[in-house]
Amino acid sequence: MRHQRELALERQLEQFFSLFYLSINAGSLLSTFITPILRVQRCLGQMFCFPLAFGVPAALMVLALVLFVIGKPLYRIVPPAGNVVIRVLQCIWHALSRKVRSKESRAHWLDHADDVFEKSLIADIKDVLHVLVLYAPLPVFWALFDQQGSQWTLQANKMDGEILGYQVLPDQMQLVNPLLILVLVPVFSYVVYPLFGRCNLLNRPLQKITVGGLAAAAAFAVAGCLDLALESSAEAPVPAGFSRVAFVNTLPCPVDVSGNELRLRLESGEVLSVPELPRAALQASAAAPCELSVARLEATAFSEAQSHSIFFLEDKQMLLAALVANTRGSNSHNAEVRVAYTVREPVSAVVFADASGSKTYAAAPTHIGATSSYTNATGLTPGRYTARLLGSDDYEVAACEASLKNGGHYTVTFTQQADGGPVNCSVHETLRPNSLSMFYQVPQYVLITAGEVMFSVTGLEFSYSQAPSSMKSVLQAAWLLTVAVGNLIVVIVAEARFFHVASSESFMYSGLMTLDMVVFGIMACFYKYIEPGTAPPPIVEKPALASEGDTKM
């Protein structure tokens, strides 16, 4: 009968922490989905609306606090009896101090504190330290787990977010984790653990924690393989002493470019890319029917080992060669686009309208000339847009549709013959867009989430069940401290910059986690559990001998 009660208690404890974890991740699911959508809205003249992205969660947090306070009459509140953590630290410090000064040999070094602290407290601290030794390897798991919001999001930035016709933002991929938590917690509780239990596997908390850590190691091994694929598909870096140049002709006539063994002709509206152009002076001339002066670019205008675009424009019978650098913005998931044009009518504004026509984005022309110019790079979320040249009173001079993909750098050109006629437009890639789908991140999210279910949910349950009644808050605090130490490991590795490529860092974390769990598994083999429903034997203090005067026969 007692054994059945113990099993029931253990089951209730497991269900409580599973429900607790489910509720946390239900909130995480909503915030991970909504916050990126709020962030990409334009507000206050900025492309991203961080006040909205942070303001809405803050308001919801205030609402949650109000609801929590309203429910106060329903709670059973146990008044705190002092700060247990401080008492534990004081006892440990006093024991260590006396041990250093004293030559007396005691059964346990904590016994040196029995002159000030009660023996029941000392016994509880011994039990806590017995568990805390196991916590030493655990921060490495959190060092891996918390990189979903950093390294894995940066990885998603380099990938194509179009999945089944829907554009997924890089930080929305984190949605997979809480979504899987809601699915996997009951699956593990009611399917996985009972099945493995029949084979006498995964039936102890430390076994589950060990396997969960190994699942996290496997997740980073998969992430490392994906990093290798991204690195192999990335554009080759420009060698030292060279530049990557895209020549863009917006004129209604061919342009001849020469210099340092380079000879090429660009037809009207054409874009030509030279992947490795030695840094040297260039000369450009416009062929008939244009009658323009010769343009010249000095070698010093080119930045070494960078990508550039050269726009051929005209202003007052002069051929202009405008040189701009092509660099990916801070958010490499976005598409970046420039517009270059030479038309017969004056242009006052350049705008991009999304496919629905409900949103427009302005791109400021540099206004080299009234009818010939280019815009600075404009960052846009991937999708279909219409680039429009507007004249006075928002009159549409010309329009061109462009499909922009994640991470791509584009140039839209508008050209028109000198005697008028239709405006021709074309869209060119100056930097290749992301090609690998974000869908390839799903396996690593499945592994890290399965690891989280076995590691974190079980760890909370283990910390509670193995702590003496007076020390449960101490062990819970220690468990949370492992999370903080894990974050510190990430900061140290990131700031030290041990690795220059993401794949090496991912494989390092995978190997470190595997080694860490091997050590933890060996330590777990020697751990003796405190079974549910049992408690350590009470401390029986030996009564003092009565004096002869007080003895009654």
Name the residue ranges covered by the structural domains of the chain.
Answer: 2-73+136-233+436-525, 242-431
- The pLDDT assigned to 1 comes to 52
Q: Which two tokens stand for residue 358?
A: 């409900």
User: What confidence tens digit (pLDDT) does each residue in 156-194 have?
Assistant: 988 888 877 778 888 888 888 888 988 898 899 889 999
How many other β-carbons are positioned within 10 Å of the β-carbon of residue 173? 25
* Higher per-residue confidence, 11 vs 378: 378
β-strands 242-249, 307-315 pairing: parallel
Least confident of 202-206, 399-403, 409-413, 492-496: 492-496
Nearest to 365 by CA among 217, 250, 493: 250
Query: Distance from CA of residue 89 to its chain's centroid?
Result: 36
Burial of 284 (0-12, 13-18, 19+ CB in 10 A): buried
What is the dihedral angle through the alpha carbons of 507, 508, 510, 516, rounded to the nearest 10 degrees?
A: 160
Task: For residue 164, count CB atoms less than 10 angstroms from its CB and return exposed for 0-12, middle for 13-18, buried for 19 or more.
Answer: exposed
Q: Helix, strand or coil for residue 360? A: strand
Question: Looking at this protein, which amino acid is placed at residue 283?
Answer: Q
Which range of 123-137, 208-222, 364-378, 388-402 scores highest in mean pLDDT? It is 208-222
Given this model, what pLDDT does residue 550 score?
40
Of these ranges, 78-87, 209-218, 340-349, the one predicted with the greatest mean pLDDT is 209-218
Does residue 184 or residue 420 have the better pLDDT? 184
Integer Cα distance of 90 and 96 in angstroms: 10
Burial of 188 (0-12, 13-18, 19+ CB in 10 A): buried
**Banded model confidence at residue 537, pLDDT cuts 50, 70, 90:** very low
Weakest mean pLDDT among 204-208, 275-279, 366-370, 518-522:
366-370
Query: Average pLDDT, stretch 96-120?
Result: 86
CA dihedral 10, 12, 18, 23 (to 10 degrees): -150
Continuous segment of H or E residues that includes residue 178 = helix 176-187
The per-residue pLDDT of the chain, averaged, comes to 82
Task: Tell me which residue has tokens 């059973």.
Answer: 76
When comparing pLDDT for 253 and 226, which is higher?
A: 226
- Degrees, nearest 5: CA angle 489-491-494: 105
pTM: 0.77
The pLDDT value given to residue 374: 87
Do 2-73+136-233+436-525 and 242-431 have matching folds? no
> CA 107: distance to chain centroid?
49
Q: Per-residue pLDDT for 81 more than 80?
A: no
Query: Token digits for 255?
Result: 């342009």
The answer on pLDDT for 208 being more than 50 is: yes
Bridge-partner residues for 322, per DSSP? 311
User: What per-residue confidence (pLDDT) applies to 454?
Assistant: 93
Residue 350, pLDDT > 70, answer: yes
- 242-431: CATH superfamily: Carboxypeptidase-like, regulatory domain (2.60.40.1120)
Residue 113 DSSP code: G
- Mean pLDDT is lowest, of 6-10, 292-296, 422-426, for 6-10
273 bridge partner residues:
246
Domain 2-73+136-233+436-525 belongs to what topology? Growth Hormone; Chain: A; (1.20.1250)
If one compares 302 and 413, the residue with the highest pLDDT of the two is 413
Helix (H, G, I), strand (E, B) or coil at 270: coil
pLDDT for position 305: 62
